[in-house]
């Protein structure tokens, strides 16, 4: 089905582990984004990308790494997970920078 999909939906990991959250979109949108959502903070931008091999840091990039070797995929890696990275992570994409479409989210718990 066309759309933007995130995997996994739920993930529990231990402090210090590396974990990768996947994001895949089928529209060939140029622009993709990773946000985290925590109570009281709304949606905060982690990293974003204008095209394959072009990425930029957002508001809260520390502890995260992204790559974009293909237009349709934008994985987010937590290099060494910490409890403060427990959050809900949303991936989004846009074609025209006006209407942004979000994935269903990944709920990550770091224990």
Partner 1 sequence: GQSLEQPSEVTAVEGAIVQINCTYQTSGFYGLSWYQQHDGGAPTFLSYNGLDGLEETGRFSSFLSRSDSYGYLLLQELQMKDSASYFCAVRDDSSNDYKLSFGAGTTVTVRA
Residues that bind partner 1 (CB under 8 A): 31, 33, 35, 40-45, 48, 50, 56, 58-59, 90, 92, 97-105
Taking the least distance from each CB to partner 1, the nearer of 13 and 102 is 102
Residue 33 C-alpha from the chain's centroid: 6
- Residue 85 has phi, psi (to 5 degrees) of -90, 5
Least Cβ distance, residue 44 to partner 1 (angstroms): 8
CA distance 37 to 45: 9
User: Closest approach of Cβ 104 to partner 1, in Å?
Assistant: 5
């Amino acid at each position: 089905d066309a759309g933007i999909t995130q995997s996994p939906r739920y993930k529990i990991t231990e402090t210090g582990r590396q974990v990768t959250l996947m994001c895949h979109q089928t529209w060939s949108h140029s622009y993709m984004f990773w946000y985290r959502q925590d109570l009281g903070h709304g949606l905060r931008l982690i990293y974003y990308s204008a095209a394959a091999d072009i990425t930029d840091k957002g508001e809260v990039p520390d502890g995260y790494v992204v790559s974009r070797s293909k237009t349709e995929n934008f994985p987010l890696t937590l290099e060494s997970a910490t409890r403060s990275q427990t959050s809900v992570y949303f991936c989004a994409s846009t074609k025209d920078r006006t209407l942004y479409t979000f994935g269903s989210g990944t709920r990550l718990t770091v224990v």
